[in-house]
Amino acid sequence: MSTISKVMEDGSYGDCSLKEIARIIQQVGRNDTNKKLVVQHGAIPLLVKITEDGNIEDQREAVYAIWGLSFDNKTEMIDNKQWKVISTLERLSNSSDKNVKLLSMKALWTIKDYQNSCGEQNDKVTRSDNRHILISHNWGNQPVVKQIYDGIKKNCISVWMHVHNIQGATVEAMVDAVDQAEIVLVCHSYKFKNSYNCRAETEYAHQTKKKIILLKMESGYEADGWLEPIVGNNLEFDFSGKDPLEKTVNEVIGAIQQELNRKNGVVVDVTKPIIESEHEVMIAQRPSNQSSGKSKEIPVLPVCLSLSFMLFLLLCLLINLACFNSSNTVCPYKECEPALPKPQSGMSDKTSKVNLTNGIDSAMNWTLSQVDEWLNNKILRKDMFLSTQRQLKTLRGKDIAFLKLLVNECPTTFYQTIREQLGMKDIQSMSDFRFAFEHIDTVLDTDLHSTTQQFTSTSTRTVETTKVRLTV
Protein backbone atom coordinates (compact mmCIF):
# COMPACT_ATOMS: atom_id res chain seq x y z
CA MET A 1 0.00 0.00 0.00
CA SER A 2 2.94 2.33 0.68
CA THR A 3 4.37 1.61 -2.76
CA ILE A 4 1.04 2.23 -4.46
CA SER A 5 0.55 5.44 -2.46
CA LYS A 6 4.00 6.73 -3.47
CA VAL A 7 3.39 5.95 -7.16
CA MET A 8 0.08 7.82 -7.08
CA GLU A 9 1.58 10.81 -5.30
CA ASP A 10 4.37 11.10 -7.88
CA GLY A 11 1.88 10.75 -10.72
CA SER A 12 4.32 8.59 -12.68
CA TYR A 13 2.54 5.26 -13.02
CA GLY A 14 4.80 3.94 -15.74
CA ASP A 15 3.25 0.84 -17.28
CA CYS A 16 0.70 0.60 -14.44
CA SER A 17 -2.67 2.30 -15.02
CA LEU A 18 -5.13 3.50 -12.40
CA LYS A 19 -7.40 0.62 -13.36
CA GLU A 20 -4.64 -1.90 -12.64
CA ILE A 21 -3.85 -0.22 -9.32
CA ALA A 22 -7.49 -0.48 -8.25
CA ARG A 23 -7.58 -4.11 -9.35
CA ILE A 24 -4.46 -4.91 -7.30
CA ILE A 25 -6.12 -3.48 -4.17
CA GLN A 26 -9.32 -5.36 -4.94
CA GLN A 27 -7.49 -8.70 -5.42
CA VAL A 28 -5.46 -8.33 -2.23
CA GLY A 29 -8.58 -7.36 -0.29
CA ARG A 30 -10.60 -10.33 -1.61
CA ASN A 31 -9.16 -12.49 1.17
CA ASP A 32 -11.31 -11.93 4.26
CA THR A 33 -8.31 -11.78 6.57
CA ASN A 34 -6.80 -8.96 4.47
CA LYS A 35 -9.84 -6.67 4.28
CA LYS A 36 -9.29 -4.83 7.55
CA LEU A 37 -5.50 -4.81 7.11
CA VAL A 38 -5.70 -3.23 3.65
CA VAL A 39 -8.12 -0.56 4.90
CA GLN A 40 -5.87 0.22 7.89
CA HIS A 41 -2.96 0.87 5.51
CA GLY A 42 -4.83 3.55 3.55
CA ALA A 43 -6.59 1.70 0.69
CA ILE A 44 -9.86 3.69 0.82
CA PRO A 45 -8.44 7.21 0.16
CA LEU A 46 -6.46 5.84 -2.80
CA LEU A 47 -9.58 4.21 -4.30
CA VAL A 48 -11.61 7.42 -3.82
CA LYS A 49 -8.85 9.38 -5.59
CA ILE A 50 -8.97 6.93 -8.52
CA THR A 51 -12.73 7.56 -8.88
CA GLU A 52 -12.02 11.29 -9.07
CA ASP A 53 -9.04 11.22 -11.46
CA GLY A 54 -9.77 8.17 -13.60
CA ASN A 55 -12.06 7.41 -16.53
CA ILE A 56 -15.15 5.17 -16.53
CA GLU A 57 -13.17 1.91 -16.49
CA ASP A 58 -10.97 3.18 -13.65
CA GLN A 59 -14.07 4.22 -11.68
CA ARG A 60 -15.71 0.84 -12.23
CA GLU A 61 -12.70 -1.06 -10.86
CA ALA A 62 -12.28 1.34 -7.90
CA VAL A 63 -15.95 1.17 -6.87
CA TYR A 64 -15.88 -2.63 -7.11
CA ALA A 65 -12.85 -2.67 -4.78
CA ILE A 66 -14.61 -0.32 -2.31
CA TRP A 67 -17.68 -2.56 -2.30
CA GLY A 68 -15.56 -5.64 -1.56
CA LEU A 69 -13.78 -3.93 1.35
CA SER A 70 -17.06 -2.56 2.76
CA PHE A 71 -18.33 -5.96 3.95
CA ASP A 72 -15.93 -5.97 6.91
CA ASN A 73 -15.41 -2.19 7.26
CA LYS A 74 -18.91 -0.67 7.28
CA THR A 75 -18.48 1.30 10.49
CA GLU A 76 -15.11 2.79 9.48
CA MET A 77 -16.41 3.94 6.10
CA ILE A 78 -19.41 5.66 7.71
CA ASP A 79 -17.58 7.24 10.65
CA ASN A 80 -14.45 8.44 8.85
CA LYS A 81 -15.71 11.54 7.05
CA GLN A 82 -12.27 12.35 5.61
CA TRP A 83 -12.44 9.31 3.36
CA LYS A 84 -15.57 10.73 1.63
CA VAL A 85 -16.75 7.22 0.85
CA ILE A 86 -20.51 7.88 1.18
CA SER A 87 -20.47 11.13 -0.80
CA THR A 88 -18.33 9.54 -3.53
CA LEU A 89 -20.66 6.54 -3.90
CA GLU A 90 -23.73 8.81 -3.91
CA ARG A 91 -22.17 10.87 -6.70
CA LEU A 92 -21.28 7.79 -8.75
CA SER A 93 -24.74 6.27 -8.25
CA ASN A 94 -25.89 8.90 -10.76
CA SER A 95 -23.19 8.00 -13.28
CA SER A 96 -24.06 7.67 -16.96
CA ASP A 97 -22.34 4.27 -16.99
CA LYS A 98 -24.82 1.65 -15.83
CA ASN A 99 -22.13 -0.61 -14.35
CA VAL A 100 -20.61 2.17 -12.26
CA LYS A 101 -24.10 3.22 -11.18
CA LEU A 102 -25.14 -0.33 -10.20
CA LEU A 103 -21.94 -1.06 -8.29
CA SER A 104 -22.16 2.24 -6.41
CA MET A 105 -25.76 1.55 -5.36
CA LYS A 106 -24.84 -1.94 -4.15
CA ALA A 107 -21.89 -0.60 -2.17
CA LEU A 108 -24.09 2.11 -0.61
CA TRP A 109 -26.68 -0.48 0.32
CA THR A 110 -24.02 -2.72 1.89
CA ILE A 111 -22.47 0.14 3.88
CA LYS A 112 -25.39 2.36 4.83
CA ASP A 113 -28.79 0.90 4.08
CA TYR A 114 -28.05 -2.71 4.87
CA GLN A 115 -28.73 -2.47 8.60
CA ASN A 116 -31.75 -0.26 8.03
CA SER A 117 -33.25 -2.84 5.70
CA CYS A 118 -32.61 -5.56 8.24
CA GLY A 119 -34.23 -3.51 10.98
CA GLU A 120 -37.30 -2.80 8.89
CA GLN A 121 -37.74 -6.44 7.91
CA ASN A 122 -39.78 -7.25 11.02
CA ASP A 123 -42.27 -4.52 10.10
CA LYS A 124 -42.81 -5.78 6.56
CA VAL A 125 -45.90 -7.79 5.74
CA THR A 126 -45.06 -10.34 3.07
CA ARG A 127 -47.93 -11.19 0.78
CA SER A 128 -48.64 -14.91 0.75
CA ASP A 129 -49.20 -15.04 -3.00
CA ASN A 130 -45.59 -13.91 -3.63
CA ARG A 131 -43.85 -16.31 -1.27
CA HIS A 132 -41.31 -18.61 -2.84
CA ILE A 133 -38.17 -20.67 -2.35
CA LEU A 134 -35.13 -18.57 -3.32
CA ILE A 135 -32.09 -20.28 -4.84
CA SER A 136 -28.93 -18.22 -4.35
CA HIS A 137 -26.13 -19.51 -6.56
CA ASN A 138 -23.04 -18.64 -8.53
CA TRP A 139 -23.34 -18.54 -12.31
CA GLY A 140 -20.74 -21.32 -12.66
CA ASN A 141 -23.10 -23.86 -11.06
CA GLN A 142 -26.05 -23.00 -13.31
CA PRO A 143 -26.52 -26.46 -14.97
CA VAL A 144 -26.86 -28.40 -11.69
CA VAL A 145 -28.89 -25.63 -10.05
CA LYS A 146 -31.32 -25.67 -12.98
CA GLN A 147 -32.03 -29.37 -12.35
CA ILE A 148 -32.64 -28.64 -8.67
CA TYR A 149 -34.99 -25.82 -9.69
CA ASP A 150 -36.94 -28.13 -12.04
CA GLY A 151 -37.26 -30.83 -9.38
CA ILE A 152 -38.67 -28.39 -6.82
CA LYS A 153 -41.05 -26.79 -9.31
CA LYS A 154 -42.47 -30.16 -10.38
CA ASN A 155 -43.47 -30.75 -6.78
CA CYS A 156 -45.85 -27.75 -6.93
CA ILE A 157 -43.59 -25.57 -4.81
CA SER A 158 -43.08 -21.96 -5.91
CA VAL A 159 -39.37 -21.46 -6.55
CA TRP A 160 -37.37 -18.46 -7.82
CA MET A 161 -33.82 -18.07 -9.07
CA HIS A 162 -31.79 -15.59 -11.09
CA VAL A 163 -32.23 -16.67 -14.70
CA HIS A 164 -29.43 -14.33 -15.71
CA ASN A 165 -26.21 -13.57 -13.88
CA ILE A 166 -26.89 -12.15 -10.43
CA GLN A 167 -24.21 -9.54 -11.08
CA GLY A 168 -26.71 -7.63 -13.21
CA ALA A 169 -29.46 -7.69 -10.59
CA THR A 170 -30.46 -4.38 -9.03
CA VAL A 171 -30.47 -3.80 -5.30
CA GLU A 172 -34.27 -3.65 -5.25
CA ALA A 173 -34.55 -6.97 -7.07
CA MET A 174 -32.10 -8.62 -4.69
CA VAL A 175 -33.85 -7.28 -1.61
CA ASP A 176 -37.32 -8.23 -2.86
CA ALA A 177 -36.15 -11.73 -3.75
CA VAL A 178 -34.94 -12.30 -0.19
CA ASP A 179 -37.87 -10.52 1.49
CA GLN A 180 -40.44 -12.70 -0.32
CA ALA A 181 -38.57 -15.94 0.35
CA GLU A 182 -39.84 -18.55 2.79
CA ILE A 183 -36.60 -20.50 2.47
CA VAL A 184 -33.26 -19.59 0.91
CA LEU A 185 -31.21 -22.35 -0.73
CA VAL A 186 -27.54 -21.30 -0.66
CA CYS A 187 -25.59 -23.20 -3.33
CA HIS A 188 -22.11 -22.51 -1.98
CA SER A 189 -18.71 -23.15 -3.52
CA TYR A 190 -15.33 -21.40 -3.69
CA LYS A 191 -16.54 -19.07 -6.45
CA PHE A 192 -19.76 -18.43 -4.55
CA LYS A 193 -17.82 -17.44 -1.46
CA ASN A 194 -15.69 -14.97 -3.47
CA SER A 195 -18.68 -13.36 -5.20
CA TYR A 196 -19.72 -10.03 -3.66
CA ASN A 197 -23.23 -10.39 -5.11
CA CYS A 198 -23.68 -13.84 -3.55
CA ARG A 199 -22.29 -12.62 -0.25
CA ALA A 200 -24.59 -9.60 -0.13
CA GLU A 201 -27.64 -11.73 -0.86
CA THR A 202 -26.71 -14.50 1.60
CA GLU A 203 -25.71 -12.19 4.47
CA TYR A 204 -28.94 -10.23 4.03
CA ALA A 205 -30.93 -13.46 4.24
CA HIS A 206 -28.97 -14.46 7.33
CA GLN A 207 -29.44 -11.08 9.03
CA THR A 208 -33.18 -11.08 8.31
CA LYS A 209 -33.39 -14.54 9.93
CA LYS A 210 -34.56 -16.38 6.85
CA LYS A 211 -34.50 -20.16 6.93
CA ILE A 212 -31.33 -21.18 5.07
CA ILE A 213 -30.65 -24.62 3.60
CA LEU A 214 -27.11 -25.07 2.28
CA LEU A 215 -26.28 -27.03 -0.86
CA LYS A 216 -22.60 -27.91 -1.24
CA MET A 217 -21.72 -27.68 -4.95
CA GLU A 218 -17.96 -28.32 -4.99
CA SER A 219 -16.07 -31.42 -3.90
CA GLY A 220 -13.17 -30.78 -1.52
CA TYR A 221 -14.25 -27.26 -0.62
CA GLU A 222 -14.94 -26.47 3.02
CA ALA A 223 -16.67 -23.20 3.80
CA ASP A 224 -14.44 -20.54 5.33
CA GLY A 225 -14.35 -16.79 5.93
CA TRP A 226 -17.75 -15.07 6.08
CA LEU A 227 -19.51 -18.25 4.93
CA GLU A 228 -18.22 -20.46 7.74
CA PRO A 229 -20.58 -19.31 10.56
CA ILE A 230 -23.60 -19.51 8.22
CA VAL A 231 -22.76 -23.05 7.17
CA GLY A 232 -22.15 -24.14 10.74
CA ASN A 233 -25.67 -23.25 11.88
CA ASN A 234 -27.81 -24.62 9.05
CA LEU A 235 -28.83 -27.86 7.37
CA GLU A 236 -26.59 -28.88 4.46
CA PHE A 237 -26.91 -31.26 1.48
CA ASP A 238 -24.02 -32.47 -0.67
CA PHE A 239 -24.31 -31.89 -4.45
CA SER A 240 -20.59 -32.34 -5.15
CA GLY A 241 -21.13 -35.77 -6.75
CA LYS A 242 -20.90 -37.92 -3.65
CA ASP A 243 -24.49 -39.19 -4.04
CA PRO A 244 -26.77 -39.48 -7.11
CA LEU A 245 -28.33 -36.16 -8.07
CA GLU A 246 -31.90 -37.49 -8.00
CA LYS A 247 -31.50 -38.82 -4.47
CA THR A 248 -30.13 -35.55 -3.10
CA VAL A 249 -32.80 -33.46 -4.85
CA ASN A 250 -35.49 -35.62 -3.25
CA GLU A 251 -33.91 -35.08 0.17
CA VAL A 252 -33.89 -31.31 -0.33
CA ILE A 253 -37.54 -31.34 -1.39
CA GLY A 254 -38.43 -33.32 1.72
CA ALA A 255 -36.61 -30.80 3.92
CA ILE A 256 -38.43 -27.92 2.20
CA GLN A 257 -41.81 -29.55 2.71
CA GLN A 258 -41.13 -30.20 6.39
CA GLU A 259 -40.10 -26.56 6.91
CA LEU A 260 -43.23 -25.32 5.13
CA ASN A 261 -45.36 -27.59 7.31
CA ARG A 262 -43.72 -26.24 10.45
CA LYS A 263 -43.72 -22.57 9.48
CA ASN A 264 -47.01 -22.15 7.67
CA GLY A 265 -49.12 -24.92 9.08
CA VAL A 266 -49.76 -26.30 5.60
CA VAL A 267 -49.96 -30.08 5.32
CA VAL A 268 -47.97 -31.30 2.33
CA ASP A 269 -47.84 -35.06 1.75
CA VAL A 270 -44.34 -36.27 0.87
CA THR A 271 -44.78 -39.11 -1.61
CA LYS A 272 -42.11 -41.30 -3.10
CA PRO A 273 -40.72 -39.56 -6.19
CA ILE A 274 -40.75 -41.26 -9.56
CA ILE A 275 -37.40 -40.88 -11.36
CA GLU A 276 -37.88 -40.63 -15.11
CA SER A 277 -34.24 -40.47 -16.22
CA GLU A 278 -30.75 -40.15 -14.85
CA HIS A 279 -30.82 -36.35 -14.72
CA GLU A 280 -34.50 -35.65 -14.17
CA VAL A 281 -36.67 -36.09 -11.11
CA MET A 282 -40.42 -36.25 -11.37
CA ILE A 283 -42.10 -35.76 -8.01
CA ALA A 284 -45.44 -37.38 -7.23
CA GLN A 285 -47.63 -34.39 -6.48
CA ARG A 286 -50.57 -33.75 -4.21
CA PRO A 287 -51.84 -30.14 -4.16
CA SER A 288 -52.44 -28.53 -0.80
CA ASN A 289 -55.29 -26.23 0.25
CA GLN A 290 -53.53 -23.40 2.04
CA SER A 291 -56.70 -21.53 2.92
CA SER A 292 -58.19 -24.36 4.98
CA GLY A 293 -54.90 -25.78 6.23
CA LYS A 294 -55.98 -29.34 5.26
CA SER A 295 -54.60 -31.52 2.56
CA LYS A 296 -56.79 -32.36 -0.41
CA GLU A 297 -56.19 -35.93 -1.52
CA ILE A 298 -56.76 -37.09 -5.07
CA PRO A 299 -58.80 -40.34 -5.38
CA VAL A 300 -56.19 -42.55 -6.97
CA LEU A 301 -58.31 -45.58 -8.02
CA PRO A 302 -61.03 -43.69 -9.96
CA VAL A 303 -58.40 -41.61 -11.73
CA CYS A 304 -56.44 -44.72 -12.74
CA LEU A 305 -59.60 -46.42 -14.02
CA SER A 306 -60.57 -43.36 -16.03
CA LEU A 307 -57.12 -43.09 -17.59
CA SER A 308 -57.11 -46.81 -18.45
CA PHE A 309 -60.52 -46.53 -20.14
CA MET A 310 -59.39 -43.49 -22.16
CA LEU A 311 -56.24 -45.32 -23.29
CA PHE A 312 -58.36 -48.33 -24.33
CA LEU A 313 -60.64 -46.11 -26.45
CA LEU A 314 -57.63 -44.43 -28.04
CA LEU A 315 -56.11 -47.81 -28.90
CA CYS A 316 -59.36 -49.00 -30.52
CA LEU A 317 -59.53 -45.80 -32.58
CA LEU A 318 -55.96 -46.25 -33.82
CA ILE A 319 -56.65 -49.88 -34.80
CA ASN A 320 -59.76 -48.86 -36.77
CA LEU A 321 -57.85 -46.12 -38.56
CA ALA A 322 -55.05 -48.53 -39.45
CA CYS A 323 -57.54 -51.07 -40.83
CA PHE A 324 -59.33 -48.38 -42.83
CA ASN A 325 -56.09 -47.11 -44.34
CA SER A 326 -54.85 -50.60 -45.22
CA SER A 327 -58.12 -51.45 -47.01
CA ASN A 328 -58.10 -48.25 -49.07
CA THR A 329 -54.41 -47.96 -49.89
CA VAL A 330 -53.11 -49.27 -53.21
CA CYS A 331 -49.52 -48.17 -52.97
CA PRO A 332 -47.25 -47.27 -50.04
CA TYR A 333 -47.02 -43.61 -50.97
CA LYS A 334 -49.60 -41.38 -49.34
CA GLU A 335 -50.27 -39.29 -52.42
CA CYS A 336 -50.74 -42.30 -54.73
CA GLU A 337 -54.24 -43.17 -55.90
CA PRO A 338 -55.45 -45.54 -58.63
CA ALA A 339 -55.42 -43.64 -61.91
CA LEU A 340 -56.80 -45.98 -64.54
CA PRO A 341 -57.03 -44.53 -68.04
CA LYS A 342 -60.39 -43.26 -69.16
CA PRO A 343 -62.19 -45.65 -71.50
CA GLN A 344 -62.45 -44.69 -75.13
CA SER A 345 -65.77 -43.64 -76.58
CA GLY A 346 -68.08 -46.59 -76.87
CA MET A 347 -65.90 -48.67 -74.56
CA SER A 348 -67.09 -49.58 -71.07
CA ASP A 349 -64.97 -49.44 -67.90
CA LYS A 350 -65.03 -53.21 -67.75
CA THR A 351 -63.73 -53.53 -71.31
CA SER A 352 -60.97 -50.97 -70.60
CA LYS A 353 -59.81 -52.88 -67.54
CA VAL A 354 -59.82 -56.15 -69.48
CA ASN A 355 -57.66 -54.62 -72.24
CA LEU A 356 -55.26 -53.22 -69.63
CA THR A 357 -54.92 -56.63 -68.00
CA ASN A 358 -54.43 -58.39 -71.31
CA GLY A 359 -51.78 -55.88 -72.36
CA ILE A 360 -49.84 -56.36 -69.09
CA ASP A 361 -50.08 -60.15 -69.35
CA SER A 362 -48.81 -60.06 -72.93
CA ALA A 363 -45.87 -57.80 -72.07
CA MET A 364 -44.78 -60.34 -69.48
CA ASN A 365 -43.87 -62.69 -72.40
CA TRP A 366 -41.96 -60.15 -74.49
CA THR A 367 -38.54 -61.27 -75.67
CA LEU A 368 -35.50 -59.02 -75.54
CA SER A 369 -35.78 -58.40 -79.28
CA GLN A 370 -39.41 -57.30 -78.88
CA VAL A 371 -38.45 -54.97 -76.03
CA ASP A 372 -35.62 -53.59 -78.15
CA GLU A 373 -37.93 -53.02 -81.13
CA TRP A 374 -40.47 -51.24 -78.90
CA LEU A 375 -37.77 -48.98 -77.45
CA ASN A 376 -36.37 -48.11 -80.91
CA ASN A 377 -39.80 -47.29 -82.35
CA LYS A 378 -41.21 -45.33 -79.41
CA ILE A 379 -38.51 -43.99 -77.10
CA LEU A 380 -34.85 -44.05 -78.09
CA ARG A 381 -33.51 -40.92 -79.81
CA LYS A 382 -30.12 -39.96 -81.17
CA ASP A 383 -29.74 -37.10 -78.70
CA MET A 384 -30.67 -39.20 -75.65
CA PHE A 385 -28.00 -39.59 -72.99
CA LEU A 386 -25.89 -42.70 -73.40
CA SER A 387 -26.34 -43.70 -69.76
CA THR A 388 -30.13 -43.60 -70.15
CA GLN A 389 -29.94 -45.73 -73.31
CA ARG A 390 -27.90 -48.34 -71.46
CA GLN A 391 -30.40 -48.46 -68.61
CA LEU A 392 -33.31 -48.89 -71.04
CA LYS A 393 -31.50 -51.69 -72.91
CA THR A 394 -31.50 -53.77 -69.71
CA LEU A 395 -35.30 -53.79 -69.41
CA ARG A 396 -37.14 -57.11 -69.81
CA GLY A 397 -40.71 -57.80 -70.81
CA LYS A 398 -41.60 -58.31 -67.17
CA ASP A 399 -40.15 -54.87 -66.37
CA ILE A 400 -42.25 -53.22 -69.12
CA ALA A 401 -45.38 -54.91 -67.74
CA PHE A 402 -44.58 -53.70 -64.22
CA LEU A 403 -44.03 -50.12 -65.37
CA LYS A 404 -47.31 -50.27 -67.31
CA LEU A 405 -49.07 -51.35 -64.11
CA LEU A 406 -47.23 -48.70 -62.07
CA VAL A 407 -48.09 -45.79 -64.36
CA ASN A 408 -51.81 -46.57 -63.92
CA GLU A 409 -51.86 -47.39 -60.19
CA CYS A 410 -49.21 -45.06 -58.74
CA PRO A 411 -48.00 -42.30 -61.08
CA THR A 412 -45.84 -40.65 -58.41
CA THR A 413 -43.80 -43.81 -57.91
CA PHE A 414 -43.59 -44.31 -61.68
CA TYR A 415 -41.98 -40.89 -62.26
CA GLN A 416 -39.71 -41.31 -59.28
CA THR A 417 -38.54 -44.69 -60.63
CA ILE A 418 -37.75 -43.53 -64.17
CA ARG A 419 -35.97 -40.46 -62.83
CA GLU A 420 -33.79 -42.21 -60.24
CA GLN A 421 -33.24 -45.68 -61.75
CA LEU A 422 -33.47 -45.03 -65.51
CA GLY A 423 -31.80 -41.61 -65.44
CA MET A 424 -34.60 -39.76 -67.23
CA LYS A 425 -34.33 -36.18 -66.06
CA ASP A 426 -35.19 -34.21 -69.20
CA ILE A 427 -38.73 -33.48 -70.35
CA GLN A 428 -38.36 -35.13 -73.78
CA SER A 429 -37.21 -38.49 -72.44
CA MET A 430 -39.84 -38.58 -69.71
CA SER A 431 -42.68 -37.60 -72.10
CA ASP A 432 -41.65 -40.15 -74.79
CA PHE A 433 -41.39 -42.91 -72.21
CA ARG A 434 -44.69 -42.04 -70.54
CA PHE A 435 -46.80 -41.76 -73.70
CA ALA A 436 -45.27 -44.93 -75.14
CA PHE A 437 -47.38 -46.82 -72.60
CA GLU A 438 -50.64 -45.29 -73.91
CA HIS A 439 -50.57 -47.49 -77.07
CA ILE A 440 -48.74 -50.47 -75.71
CA ASP A 441 -51.85 -52.65 -76.19
CA THR A 442 -51.89 -51.88 -79.95
CA VAL A 443 -48.18 -52.51 -80.21
CA LEU A 444 -48.59 -55.78 -78.41
CA ASP A 445 -51.39 -56.97 -80.71
CA THR A 446 -49.45 -55.97 -83.87
CA ASP A 447 -46.23 -57.60 -82.67
CA LEU A 448 -48.00 -60.78 -81.61
CA HIS A 449 -49.89 -60.93 -84.93
CA SER A 450 -46.71 -60.48 -86.98
CA THR A 451 -44.91 -62.99 -84.85
CA THR A 452 -47.72 -65.51 -85.33
CA GLN A 453 -47.72 -65.01 -89.11
CA GLN A 454 -43.97 -65.43 -89.21
CA PHE A 455 -44.18 -68.62 -87.19
CA THR A 456 -47.00 -70.01 -89.41
CA SER A 457 -45.17 -69.32 -92.73
CA THR A 458 -41.99 -70.82 -91.36
CA SER A 459 -43.82 -73.92 -90.24
CA THR A 460 -45.49 -74.28 -93.69
CA ARG A 461 -42.19 -74.05 -95.52
CA THR A 462 -40.70 -76.66 -93.26
CA VAL A 463 -43.58 -79.06 -93.88
CA GLU A 464 -43.37 -78.57 -97.67
CA THR A 465 -39.62 -79.19 -97.66
CA THR A 466 -40.16 -82.37 -95.69
CA LYS A 467 -42.75 -83.60 -98.22
CA VAL A 468 -40.35 -83.01 -101.12
CA ARG A 469 -37.61 -84.97 -99.45
CA LEU A 470 -39.95 -87.84 -98.73
CA THR A 471 -41.12 -87.90 -102.36
CA VAL A 472 -37.53 -88.11 -103.64
- Residue 35 is part of which domain span? 2-121
Rg (CA), the chain: 44
Shared-domain flag, residues 247 and 169? yes
CATH of the domain at 85: 1.25.10.10
| Residue 58 sits in the same domain as residue 145 | no
**DSSP string of 58-117, one letter each residue:** HHHHHHHHHHHHHTT-HHHHHH-GGG-HHHHHHHHTT-SSHHHHHHHHHHHIIIIIHHHH
Each residue's pLDDT tens digit in the chain (472 positions)? 888 887 777 766 666 788 888 899 989 988 888 988 999 899 999 999 999 888 899 999 999 999 999 988 888 888 888 999 999 999 999 999 999 999 999 999 988 766 555 555 544 544 445 578 899 988 778 888 888 998 888 887 888 887 654 556 678 888 888 888 989 999 999 999 889 989 999 999 988 889 999 999 988 888 888 888 888 778 889 998 888 888 899 999 989 988 888 876 655 454 444 334 343 433 333 344 444 344 444 556 667 777 888 888 888 888 877 765 554 444 444 444 444 444 444 555 555 555 566 667 777 778 888 888 888 887 877 777 777 777 888 888 888 888 888 877 888 888 888 888 888 878 888 888 888 877 665 544 444 444 444 444 444 444 344 343 444 3
Task: Answer yes or no: is 470 within a domain.
Answer: no
Q: Considering its fold, how many domains does the chain have in total?
A: 3
State residue 118's pLDDT score: 52
In terms of domains, do 132 and 269 share one?
yes
Query: Which amino acid is it at 154?
Result: K
Q: Within this chain, do residues 218 and 289 fall inside the same structural domain, yes or no?
A: yes
Residue 118: exposure state from Cβ atoms within 10 A (0-12, 13-18, ≥19): middle
Domain assignment present for residue 156? The answer is yes
Q: Note whether residue 69 is domain-resident.
A: yes
Concatenated DSSP letters for 451-471? HHHHHHHHHHHHHHHHHHHHH
Pair (289, 142) in one structural domain: yes
User: Which of these three, 273, 295, 317, is where a domain ends?
Assistant: 295
Q: What CATH code is carried by the domain that includes residue 162?
A: 3.40.50.10140
- Sequential DSSP letters for 220-263: T----TTHHHHHHTSEEEE-SSSS-HHHHHHHHHHHHHHHHHHH
Whether 321 is in a domain gets the answer: no
- Number of Cβ within 10 Å of residue 321's Cβ equals 10
